[in-house]
Amino acid sequence: MSEGKKFDGEKPRFSLIPGGVLPPVINVLEFGAKKYSEGNWRQVENARTRYFDAAHRHLDAWWNGESADPESGEHHLAHAICCLMFLMALDEPAKKLVPICKHNWQEATAAGDARRTFVCSKCPSQKSVSFNEEFLQP
């Protein structure tokens, strides 16, 4: 019997994420979605400054010995991670669409198309990634 093949050598290895760290982060995201609304972080005025400040407040609280946020009960570092994810998403919106491969994705938006489209020239079999312009607005 021959050994099976899987061509995933250049794809992201999510197995490198330490076990147990994502559930608290997801809990914080769900807490925020219930408290404000889902995706509200994209609409916050001066979001970059405010999430930068919030991340530092959570890091400072953790650094000074407080592990859980008093309002949510979740770990301060999970809150900081959420803030940092928001900052990363707001920093370069087109790059937040993590491609399956690690090649350079190029814009291939058709004229008059309301959605921006990106394709990988090295992986023609991959589907393109599209999103609305409003998704890019902080």
Q: By CB neighbour count within 10 A (0-12 exposed, 13-18 middle, 19+ buried), where does 40 fall?
A: exposed
Q: How far apart are CA 58 and CA 83, in angstroms?
A: 9
> Tokens 């490198």 belong to which residue?
16
Shared-domain flag, residues 60 and 96? no
Is pTM beyond 0.85? Reply is no
pLDDT digits (tens, 9 = 90+) for 42-60: 889 999 999 999 999 999 9
Shared-domain flag, residues 60 and 120? no
Shared-domain flag, residues 97 and 70? no
Task: Read off the pLDDT band of 31 (50, 70, 90).
Answer: very high
Q: Look at the chain and report how many structural domains it folds into.
A: 2
Shared-domain flag, residues 84 and 102? no
- Domain containing 57: what range? 19-91
pLDDT digits (tens, 9 = 90+) for 64-80: 999 999 999 999 999 99
Residue 110 has pLDDT above 80, yes or no: no
Is residue 6, in this structure, part of any structural domain at all?
Answer: no
Task: Read off the pLDDT band of 136 (50, 70, 90).
Answer: very low
CA distance between the termini of the chain: 54
Is residue 2, in this structure, part of any structural domain at all?
Answer: no
Shared-domain flag, residues 116 and 82? no
Q: What is the 3-state secondary structure (H, E, C) of 98-132?
A: CCCCCCCEEECCCCCCCEEEEEECCCCCCCCEEEE
Is residue 36, in this structure, part of any structural domain at all?
Answer: yes
Report residue 114 as tokens: 């309301």
User: Which of 67, 41, 10 lies closest to 137, judged by CA?
Assistant: 41
72 or 111, higher pLDDT: 72
Shared-domain flag, residues 96 and 86? no
